[in-house]
Amino acid sequence: MKNHDLTASSINMNLSSEGRPVTMETTKSIRIRAARFLTDRYAYRAQPNYLVELVAFGIIVVTSVWPIVLLANALAGTLR
C-alpha cells in the first residue's frame, strides 16, 4: 500500500496516467458562453419593487410643492 500525501493541491488536481494535469477543453465558443452568462445573470436576479420608490418620490414632491402652493395662494389673496 502506498502512503499518499493528502494536501489541497493533490486532492484538487486530476492527473493523467503520465502524471500531467488533465485539462478540459471546452466545445462551446466564447460568444455562446458570454451570451449564456449574461442571460443567466439577468434572468435570475431579484426584481426590485418600483411601486415603493414611486410612492416615496410622490410624497417628497407633494411635501416640497405644498408650501409653495400655499404661499402663492396667500399672495394672490393679498393682491386683490
Q: 75: part of which helix (H) or strand (E)?
A: helix 50-78
CA distance 43 to 45: 6
The band of 14, judged by pLDDT with boundaries at 50, 70 and 90, is low
What pLDDT shows up at residue 18? 65
The pLDDT tens digits of the residues spanning 36-78 come to 888 877 766 666 677 888 999 999 999 999 999 999 999 988 8
Asked if residues 22 and 14 have their Cβ atoms less than 8 Å apart, the reply is yes
